[in-house]
Amino acid sequence: MAKNNFGADEIINTTVSIVQTATNQNVIAFSDIWIDSSNPSESTFGILPSFTGAFDAVTATLKVTCPPGGCGLYDRVGGIDLRGANGRWIEIIRYITPYSLACTHEVDLTQYINLLQGKVEFRVYSGTLDNGYVYKLELDYHAGTPAHKFSYVKPIWWDTYPFGDYANLQPVPQINFEFPEEAVDAELFMMTTGHGWGDNNSFNAAEFYDATHKILVNGDEFPQHLWVTCDPNPDGCNNQNGTWYFNRAGWCPGSIAAVYTYDLTNYVNLTTPVSFNYRFYEGYVDMCHPNHPDCLTGVTCTDCADTYNPHLVVAANLVTYYDSAFVIDPLHVIPQELAASISTFPNPSFGVFMLNSDLPLHHANVTVYALDGTLVHSFRWNGEDVRLDLSGEKSGVYQLIIEENNQRLVKRLVKL
């Protein structure tokens, strides 16, 4: 029975079928989503199975086809996000478009299986300046008993960070997380892709630079070798146009970005917060960066004032597993996580950025400045999704400043 604001009642009867056993299921999460330069991001809802402990795996098939007028011409960073039950967006697939070719891709999404049920909102996006692609996502649920019935996904990093900036060689903030006492296991799933290259980036970093970065958990090191062989294409999307066959840092044109998985079983039962750090490869410094004191235009690089520099797009989702259901307080986090909860995507972008916060804000003041100090945007923000349009501004790096309660957070926006 439902009651409206005027006191009227209405009863609607419906039939719900509950079964004790499950069978394999194939579900179309969404289809016919055309992402192009006029529509770089689109949200849609999918109706998925509802269950508890009925499936032990879920595999996604992403079909990317050419729209009327032909496929997009270049490799653009995009992906698929999912809005969790608490309203926060989570990146589940990072996808780089191929050079003018339709392709099909598969990826294991079992770590997000408890989010992939019921009515789910998805967001498809791509940093594109051309005709783009049409996206369809199918999900195959495998019937079986999972290792753990319940899970909780917490994004701890999701942002774009400069690579080799002499003034800020380790830009990723430390995150502390206290595992709930009910947690029985945990894993960290990371997607890191390197972008930016050319005469003004030493050694073609970050896109074409072979480097090994480190994840430190309570000081313990886990390597991340950020390099992928692109010929043959890891997703079978071969014989594209352009330079699809060159190896790249964590990705290839026409493929789902590599996912790096780290077992955190040894840290779940600790009674103190666990620290997470991400250390960029310490052997690289961009000699052509404007912040490098020895940068000489025409000597060390073409233009020391060029602000298009190497950068890494970093996303890390911490998944904790449970054998019994309980309520997780979304605000039960260490204060340092506020910085990591605020994301901008796609970043870099050709002009349109989405600003999002995992944690609630209260009348934060947001300003965007060009590097010469020119104020570009200013507005009040409560943490809701905001579309930030820099399409009319010059290419380069911009400062995004978020201030609330005498706290100040500075992020970088890269406009291509």
Residue extents of the structural domains in the chain: 23-146, 148-328, 350-416
Domain 148-328, classified CATH 2.60.120.230, yes or no: yes
Q: What does pTM read for this prediction?
A: 0.79
Q: Which residues of 187-217 are buried (b: 16+ CB within 10 A; e: fewer)?
A: bbbbbbbbbbbbebbbbbbbbbbebebebeb
DSSP letter string, 67-125: PTT---SS--EEEEEEE-TTS-EEEEEEEE--SS--EEEEEE-GGGTTTSSEEEEEEEE
Q: State the Cα–Cα distance between residues 79 and 194, nearest whole angstrom.
A: 15
The single-letter DSSP state of residue 204 is G
Q: How many residues are listed for the chain in this entry?
A: 416
The pLDDT profile of the chain, 416 residues, written as one tens digit per residue, is 554 444 556 666 666 555 557 899 999 999 999 999 999 999 999 999 999 899 999 999 999 999 999 999 999 999 999 988 667 789 999 999 999 999 999 999 999 999 999 999 999 999 877 999 999 999 999 999 999 999 999 999 999 999 999 999 999 999 999 898 889 999 999 999 999 988 888 999 999 999 999 999 999 999 999 999 999 999 999 999 999 999 999 999 999 999 999 999 999 999 899 999 999 999 999 999 899 999 999 888 888 888 888 999 999 999 999 998 755 543 333 345 566 678 888 888 888 888 888 777 767 888 898 877 788 888 888 888 888 999 888 888 888 888 776 667 778 888 88
DSSP letter string, 265-324: GGGTT-SSPEEEEEE--TT---TTSTT-TT--BTTTBS-TT-----EEEEEEEEEEEESS
* 366, β-bridge pairs: 379, 402
> Looking up tokens 């990072």, which residue turns up?
94
> Looking up tokens 């179309």, which residue turns up?
28
Q: State the Cα–Cα distance between residues 161 and 412, nearest whole angstrom.
A: 8
Task: Assess whether the previous peptide bond of 348 is cis (omega < 30° from 0).
Answer: yes
Give the rounded distance of the alpha carbon of 21 from its chain centre.
Answer: 34
Which fold, 350-416? Immunoglobulin-like (2.60.40)
Domain 23-146, classified CATH 2.60.40.10, yes or no: no
- Give yes or no on whether 23-146 and 148-328 have one common fold: yes
Q: State the Cα–Cα distance between residues 413 and 53, nearest whole angstrom.
A: 41
Count Cα atoms within 13 angstroms, Cβ side, for 362. 2
Is the Cβ–Cβ distance between 163 and 205 less than 8 Å? yes
Phi-psi region of 382 (alpha: psi -120 to 50; beta: other; left: phi over 0): alpha
